[in-house]
Chains A and B, each alone.
Chain A
Amino acid sequence: MMFGYYLDLALRSLKRNKVLTVLMVLALALGIGAAMTTLTLLTLLSGDPLPGKSGQLYYVQVDPYPKDHPFSHSDKLPWLMTYIDAMNLVRAHRAQRQVAISMSTMKLTPTTTQQRPFFSNGVMTTAEFFSMFEAPFQYGGGWSAADEEGRAKVVVIAESLNNQLFAGADSVGRTLRINDQDYRIIGVLKPWAPQPHFYSLYLGGRDYGDGDTVFVPLQSARAAGMDPVNSFSYEASDRTKLETSTSIWLGVWAQLPDAAAVSSYRSFLTDYAKEQVALGRFQQSRVGLSGLMQWLDDQRVVPDNVRMQNGLAFSFLLICIVNTVGLLLAKCLRRSNEIGVRRALGASRPAIFAQFMVEAGLVGLAGGMLGLLFAEFGLWCIRRQPAEYASLAHLDVSMFASTFAMALAASLVAGILPAWRACAVTPAPQLKSA
C-alpha cells in the first residue's frame, strides 16, 4: 500500500535529520500545549452555568439613580436593585418565576459536633430560587412564599455542609445556628455549583469555585440582622435601614420561557420604570433585561488574565507553526534531487505531495502527543495558581481529542506549502545536476 511506503519514507527522512525533527516536534508541542492549556481554561470559564435552562433566565435591571448622580460614567445601568424595586418586581409575579438574591457572610456554629464556629458565604434569597435555578435536593425541599413572609427561621444547606455537620445523614428538621440564632433545616441540596456563579455576580460572592453552603429566606435573614456583603449607594446612607433606603444590594432574575414572555415582561418592566418616574422615585425610565449568557458576557466574568493568556498562547502557536513551515520547507528544498529521481522514475505529483504531507502529519502527531503532555503540565501549573478557578482546570475527553485534531491540523497546514513546493520540482534539471 502506498501509504505504508510514504510512512516509511517519512520516517527515514525524519531520522536523517534527528536534531531538526526534534526541534520541529518540540516547537509544535510547546505551541499546542500552551494553546490547549489556555483554551481548556477559557472554555471552562466561559461555559454555560445551567445548560438547558440558561436560555430562559433573564437578569433584570432598572435605574433608581438620579440624573446628576449617574451610576456609571458610561451610562451603564446599576448592577443591583434596591429592596423596594426588587420586592415590587418579585411580588408582581409577571414572569414564570422570579427571585431576588443577596449574599451575606454568616457565622455557622455547629450544634452536633465539637467544631468551632466558622464563617461561610450565605445566600439570602426568595422562595423560587431552587426551582428557578434547578438546584437539586437530596433531602427535603425549599421554603414557600408564606414561610418567607412569616420570617420563618428555616434554612437550606449544601451537601458539603451536611457532610461536615451531619456526616451526610438526612438532617431535615435539625437545627443550624447562624449568627447565634437557631434555624431549622428544611432541605439539603445535592452537590450544586454552577460555573461561573452567575447569580452572585456583584453581590460579593466568588465568581468560580465551590458552591454556596447556606440559603436563608431573604426576609428572615434581614429580620435577623444579616447584612449584604456588597451594597452601593449614591448618597451616604444608614446600612441598618436597607429596606427603605436608596442603596442597591439585590440581584433580580426572571424566568421567561419563550419570546412572547420576554417581550411581555419587557413591556411590564418599562411600564414599571415609567410608573416609578411618575411617582418621583426614579428620574430615568431605563430598564435592562439580558439573557444569562449575554449578561455574563457583558459583565466580562471570564478574568482578563485568562483571555490574555489565551491570546498569547495562540500567537505562540502561530509562531510555532510558521517555524515548522520554514523548517519543513528548507528540508524539502534540500531534497530536490531525491524528488527529481522519484519523479523521473514515474512518481506522480500527487504522490510526491502525499509523501510530504505524511511526513508533516507525522511531525504533527508526535507534536500533538507531546503537546498533550505539555497541556497536562500547563493545567497542573494553573491548578497551583492562587486563583478561585484554579481547581477547575482539568483536561476532559473532548479537549483531549481537540488537542490531537489541532496538532494534526497545525502540522498539515504547515506541511502544505513544502509539499506543494516539492511536487512542483521538475525532474530533468535535478537529474542533470546530480
Chain B
Amino acid sequence: MDIRPILFALRRHKLTCCLLVLQIAFTCAIVCNTIFLIGQRLERINLPSGIAENELVYIQLANIGGRPDGKARAAEDMAALRQIPGVTAVALPGEMPFDNGSNNMDIRINPEQHLATLSASQYFGEGVVKTFGVQLVEGRDLRPEEYVDLSDVFVMLANKQYDKLPNSTLITRAMAERMWPGKDPLGKQFYVGAGMPFTVVGVMANLIRPGSNQMNAGAGYSTVWPVRLTLDQGVGYMIRCAPQDRDQVLKSAVEKLKTLDPNRIVLDKGTMEQHRRDFFRNDRAMVGILLGVCIALLVVTALGIVGLASFWVAQRNRSIGVRRALGATRGNILHYFQTENFLLTTMGIALGMVLAYGINLFLIVHYELPRMPAMYFPVGALILWGIGQVAVLGPALRAAAVPPVVATRSV
C-alpha cells in the first residue's frame, strides 16, 4: 500500500498526530524501562541459593548473655536434635541465608593491595556445608580437627597469635572466578584484615550470602570457616530433613529444645522456603506495582488511540464514502487506517527508543542500575505495535463499514 497519501492526510492534523506520537513515545520509553526493572527484580527473587532449600527448617532462639556452659549446651542441643526421626543433619551457623544480619569481610589477593578485591560473607559453625546441602565442586570439606571455638579465635586475635588461627577456608565458585579467573583456586591464599593469610581448601558450587544490600555486591560471595559457635554466638539451629518431614521435625525440635531448657524463647522458626519468600516480599510487591503501572500505561495509550482514531473516522466519514464510491474495497479502507496507525506508532517508537535510552542512563546514574540490554527495545516496540493495531481495529472496522452511499449525502 502506498503510504504517501496517508502521510499527506496526516499532515492535515499535525497537532493531534504529534500528541499521539508523543504519547506513544513516552509510553514506549517507560514500558521498556519498567519491563527491564521487572526483569531485574525477578532475577533477584529467583537467585539460586546453592542450598537445599526444600529440606531445611530453622529455629532461632533468644539467648542473651554469654554463659560459661554455652558450648556444652549447644553440643547437648545438637545431639538431641539429631536424634529426632527424619533429621539428617544439624548445624548452629553464625548467619543464615535470607537473613538481613551478616558478617562480611574484605578480601585481598595480595596483602599490599590498597583496595579489597571483593567483600564476602563469613559463614561460621560446624557442619554448615553438609547441613545446608551445599555442593562442593573442588577440594574437600572442612575437617573436624580444623575447627576452633569462636571465643578462642577472639583470644588469639587479642593476643595477636595469628599463626594459631585456623588457616583453611571454603569459597564459592563465583568468588574463585572473580579472584583468580581461569586458574585453579585450590591451595591459593587470600588475605583478610591486617594481612592474615588463609588457604582455599575447597570450592562450593554456590552459597548465597545474607543481607539485602550485600547481595548487590555479589550474591554468591560467601566463605565457610572452621569456627565452632556456642548457643549465644549462633543465629539459630538449622535442621535438614526430607521435604515431607519438615513440619513434623520442626514441631518435635521445638518441643525437644523446650524440654532441655524450659526458659528458652523461640524468636522465629520455619522452613527455609518460607524464609526465602519473606525475604523477597518487598521485591515481589515492587514487581506487582511495576506490572500495574505498565498495564495501566498501555491501557491509557490504547484508549487514547481508540479515541483519536474514532474521531478521525467520524471526521472523514464523507471522504471514506467517496473513496468507497470510487471503487475502494472495505479491505482497502481497513488497511488505510491500520497503516496510518502503524506509521504513527513507528514514529512514536523511534522517539521512544531515544527517550528509553535517556531514562536508562538516568537510572544508571541515580539508582546504580545496570545498562538495559538491547533486547528490551524490540520487546517494547513489538508491544506498542501490537497495542496500536488492536486499538485501531475497532474504529477502522467502523470506517470500513461506511457505505459508499454516504458520499451522496450532505453532512
Residues of A within 8 A of B374 (CB): none
- With A319-B300, A327-B304, A330-B308 as contacts: A387 and B293 at CB distance below 8 Å: no
Q: Which residue of B lies closest to A433 (CB)?
A: B411
> DSSP majority for the B interface?
helix
Interface string of B280-311 (1 = CB under 8 A from A): 01100110011001001100110110111011
A42 at the B interface (CB under 8 A): no
A20 at the B interface (CB under 8 A): yes
Contact B15 A417 (CB under 8 A): yes
B196 at the A interface (CB under 8 A): yes
Total A-B Cβ pairs within 8 A: 133
| Nearest chain B CB to A85 CB, angstrom units | 20
Contact A34 B114 (CB under 8 A): no
Interface string of A152-187 (1 = CB under 8 A from B): 000000000000000000000000000110000000
Please tell me which one of the listed residues B194, B196, B307, B367 contacts residue A326 in the complex, with CB atoms under 8 A apart: B307
A234 at the B interface (CB under 8 A): yes
- With A107-B64, A421-B15 as contacts: A326 and B154 at CB distance below 8 Å: no
| Nearest chain B CB to A298 CB, angstrom units | 14
Interface string of A255-281 (1 = CB under 8 A from B): 000000000000000000000000000
Q: Which residue of A lies closest to B66 (CB)?
A: A225
Residues of A within 8 A of B115 (CB): 70, 73
Cα distance A272–B306 in the bound complex, in angstroms: 70
| Nearest chain B CB to A309 CB, angstrom units | 6
Residues of A within 8 A of B196 (CB): 236
B158 at the A interface (CB under 8 A): yes
Cα distance A236–B367 in the bound complex, in angstroms: 32
Please tell me which one of the listed residues A235, A238, A327, A421 contacts residue B154 in the complex, with CB atoms under 8 A apart: A238
Contact B192 A236 (CB under 8 A): yes
Contact A305 B158 (CB under 8 A): no
Query: Which residues, 132 to 177 on B, are CB-close (under 8 Å) to A?
Result: 154-155, 157-158
B20 at the A interface (CB under 8 A): yes
Contact A323 B301 (CB under 8 A): yes
Residues of A within 8 A of B303 (CB): 23, 26-27, 323
User: Which of B27, B114, B290, B304: most chain A Cβ within 10 A?
Assistant: B304
Residues of A within 8 A of B314 (CB): 334
A116 at the B interface (CB under 8 A): yes
B121 at the A interface (CB under 8 A): no
Q: Which residue of B lies closest to A117 (CB)?
A: B265
- With A320-B300, A334-B311 as contacts: A312 and B265 at CB distance below 8 Å: no
Please tell me which one of the listed residues B16, B34, B66, B282 contacts residue A333 in the complex, with CB atoms under 8 A apart: B16
Contact B311 A331 (CB under 8 A): yes
Query: Which residues, 70 to 92 on A, are CB-close (under 8 Å) to B?
Result: 70, 73
User: Which of A69, A105, A323, A386: most chain B Cβ within 10 A?
Assistant: A323
Contact A27 B304 (CB under 8 A): yes
Residues of A within 8 A of B297 (CB): 316, 319
Residues of B within 8 A of A23 (CB): 303, 306-307
Residues of A within 8 A of B65 (CB): 179-180, 225
Interface string of B390-406 (1 = CB under 8 A from A): 00000000000000000
Q: Which residue of B lies closest to A305 (CB)?
A: B286
A304 at the B interface (CB under 8 A): yes
B257 at the A interface (CB under 8 A): no
B409 at the A interface (CB under 8 A): no
B23 at the A interface (CB under 8 A): yes
A16 at the B interface (CB under 8 A): no
B193 at the A interface (CB under 8 A): yes
A315 at the B interface (CB under 8 A): yes
Interface string of A210-237 (1 = CB under 8 A from B): 0000000000000001000000001111
A385 at the B interface (CB under 8 A): yes
A318 at the B interface (CB under 8 A): yes
Contact B19 A329 (CB under 8 A): yes
B315 at the A interface (CB under 8 A): yes
Cα distance A119–B60 in the bound complex, in angstroms: 13
B10 at the A interface (CB under 8 A): no
Cα distance A236–B192 in the bound complex, in angstroms: 8
Interface residues of B (CB under 8 A from A): 13, 15-16, 19-20, 22-23, 26-27, 30, 34, 37, 62, 64-66, 105-106, 112, 114-115, 154-155, 157-158, 192-194, 196, 265, 267, 278, 281-282, 285-286, 289-290, 293, 296-297, 300-301, 303-304, 306-308, 310-312, 314-315, 366-367
CB<8 Å pairs between A and B, sample of 24: A30-B300, A31-B300, A34-B296, A105-B64, A117-B265, A118-B265, A236-B193, A238-B155, A304-B367, A308-B37, A312-B30, A312-B290, A313-B293, A315-B30, A316-B30, A316-B293, A316-B296, A319-B23, A319-B297, A326-B16, A326-B19, A330-B307, A330-B312, A333-B311
Apart from A323-B300, A323-B303, A421-B15, 6 more pairs, CB < 8 Å:
A119-B62, A119-B265, A240-B154, A305-B286, A319-B30, A334-B314
